[in-house]
Structure formats: C-alpha cells, structure tokens
Chain A
C-alpha cells in the first residue's frame, strides 16, 4: 500500500470523471422527471374519470408499474423489447423510457390523491358564489391542489435520482460505473480504492438528494 486510498480520487481527472458520471445520472433522472410531470398530470386526470373502462385500464397500468421492481421494468424494456418487437433500444433510451413510464404512474397517483383530497364543499361554495367552472378551477381548486402536489413532486424527483442508480446494471456508464473503472485501473497502486470510491459515491448521492428533500420538507411545512 503506497498511501491512503482516498488519494486515488485526486489522481489525474478521476474526481471530475466521477462528477461527469453523476451528470449522466442526473441527466437521465431529470429528463424522465421532466417528462413524467406533465404526463403524470394527464394520467392523474384520467384516473379521476368515472368511465369504467378508463378506471380499469388506469388501475391496471398503475398497479402493474407500482408492484414491479424498477429493475424488472428496466430488464423488460431493455432485454424484452428487443426480443419481442425487434426494437433495438439503447440502454440510455430504455432507462429514460422506463423511468418515464414509472414516473408517470407515480405522478398520476399523486395528482389523483391531491384532486380527491379537495373537499366537495370547495366546489359547492365556489358555485354558490356564482363562479363559473373555469373560475372555480383557476382560483379555488388548482391553487389548493398545487400546494399539496409540489412537495410530493419534489420528493418524486429525489426518488427518481436514487432509482437511477440501477441503470449501471444495464450497462450505462454513469457514476458507479466510472467508480468501478477507477477502482479497477488503480487496483495495484491503491488497493483500498473501493472503500473510498464507494464512500464518495454514497455521499455524492446524499448531497444531491438531501437538499432537494429538505426543500420539499420546508415547502410542506410552510403550506400545511
């Protein structure tokens, strides 16, 4: 052992490469979250429909996506779609597709929950005041829904970032993969590199997600 394993991170561009890997992780999660929010709002509205066919299809989609581990969904799309439909999806595209499908389901459920949590009398009071239904939504329902929804949506983003760590298992070169490369390349010079690299990755995830969680908690406290 030459010296402390943590120095491996300061050799050459290692630390920057690790941060670059974090960038890929964030890129996948933020693109998926960005797609999931609008799609999830639509899906949430769809879930509140009274139509029995809409109800059953919505529930089936939601329950299937939520019950399957995200890694299974990744495998289904990345390995399954190629075989079943002959689509040759790149791992990067599969990851975004899966996280968007998953995010849409989760977001849809949050939107549905927020919408049905608005008591009926809010609608009735607005009507009694002579508001049109557009006004009711614009001034009464949407502001209240948003207050409940925004903290939950921010939490969904942190969940998305954490879940994105799985993409290393379908071969995307992100933070963990870069970490493994650094460990393997320095196996002889820095035998304890694994401890430090995984430790640093652990804290990089923590310092990415923690401020976002804190923000959600703050907003929740402020608005409730």
Chain B
C-alpha cells in the first residue's frame, strides 16, 4: 500500500462520493414521490392511469439502468433533446426507482387486512378518516424496510453513471488505474468509499426491519 498516493488522491474520492450522494438522494426523493403517485393510482384503481402505471412498472423493472441512461444520454440528443449527464442520471434513477418504490408502497398497502376497513367503518369513520388514521399508519410501518432496501439498491445502481461520463466513484477509480497503475490503492479506496456510503444505510435498514417486525407481532 502506497499511503502517500492514498493521501494525495483521497480528496478526489470525497468529491466523487459527494456527487454520487447528491444524484443518489435527489433520485431517491423523486423515486419516492413517483412511487407514491403510482402506488396510489394502482391502489385506488384509477381507470386509464392504472394501465399506464402498470406499463411503466413493467418497462422500468425489466430493463437495466445502464441502457436507460444510454438512451437518455446518447439517444435523445439525436432528436434535439440534450440533457446534461447529471440530469440524465437523476431522470434515469427516478425512472428505475419509481417502480421499485411503487411496488414497495403497493404491497404494504395491500398487506393491511380487510378487517381494518370494516372495523373502522363500524366505528363510524368516513373513508378519509379510515385512510388517515387506520390504513396509512399501518402501511407506512410495513413499507419502511423495503423502502430502505430500495435506497441501498438505488445508491448501488449509481455506480453505472461512469458509463455516461459522470465523474462518480467508479470513474475516479478507473481514471487513477489508467493514469498511475496503482490498481490496489485505487480499488481499495473505491471499496472503502462505497462502504462508508452504504454500510450505515444498510445497518439502519436491518434495525428498522427488526423494529417493524416487533410492531407487527403486537397484532
């Protein structure tokens, strides 16, 4: 290990890590918004929109992010739509993440049993109150672990951004390997950088999952 090299180039990784986090968090927040909208459309069986939503989910879940990005970054400029790499990254991540988030929300909404509606009705609640006080709180709790898992998944997926020339962590590592041939150090720092970003979220996910299971057993 060449520590002088690590010390000299670590700031590049910090910078790239910040880029990864910036695009990642923006993409995740937008994915959650898309996911909420899509799952609401599916849950309340809104006509027409519902078919569009399920087409979107199938398209997004059955294609790789890298291809989505290539289409956005290299394909669209040919018809005059020129997006910056960062914007492509955010759009691609949202397109991919939206469907995963939607599935997480939908399945937790569907996991709320029918008896909950009937009980709320027999207590004289109207349908808004039922959703607000009975259904959503329960669905929210069960959706937390899959949503956190999706966050980890989406942050991991950001690693393909180097394919559209965004200077993310992979890009920096590849650059350093190419420039100085310090493969061990460059890859070591890459692994450490991803661990620093992903490990806390992954641990948080495990803790939350245990809490939710604990809450579920109360029924």
CB distance from B196 to the nearest CB of A (A): 11
Does A48 reach chain B (CB closer than 8 Å)? Answer: no
- Distance of A126 Cα from B50 Cα, bound (Å): 46
- Distance of A84 Cα from B191 Cα, bound (Å): 15
Does A87 reach chain B (CB closer than 8 Å)? Answer: no
Chain A residue contacts of B195, Cβ below 8 A: 67
Chain B residue contacts of A80, Cβ below 8 A: 183-184, 187
Q: Is the CB of A69 within 8 A of B67?
A: no
* A195 with B199, Cβ < 8 A, contacts A68-B191, A83-B184, A169-B163 known: no
Does B133 reach chain A (CB closer than 8 Å)? Answer: no
Q: Is the CB of A165 within 8 A of B66?
A: yes
- Distance of A127 Cα from B75 Cα, bound (Å): 63
* A195 with B75, Cβ < 8 A, contacts A72-B170, A169-B162 known: yes
Q: Is the CB of B64 within 8 A of A75?
A: no
* A72 with B159, Cβ < 8 A, contacts A83-B184, A205-B67, A210-B58 known: yes
Chain A residue with the shortest CB-CB distance to B71? A198
- Complex interface bits, B43-80 against A, C-beta within 8 A gives 1, otherwise 0: 00000000000000011011110111011001111110
Interface of B, secondary structure class, is helix
Chain B residue contacts of A71, Cβ below 8 A: 159-160, 162, 170
Segment 58-91 of A: residues with Cβ below 8 Å from B: 63, 67-72, 75-76, 79-80, 82-84
Q: Is the CB of B75 within 8 A of A199?
A: yes
* A69 with B71, Cβ < 8 A, contacts A79-B183, A213-B61, A213-B62 known: no
A residues sitting closer than 8 Å to B (CB atoms) are 5, 63, 67-72, 75-76, 79-80, 82-84, 158, 162-163, 165-166, 168-169, 176, 183, 191-199, 201-202, 205-206, 209-210, 213
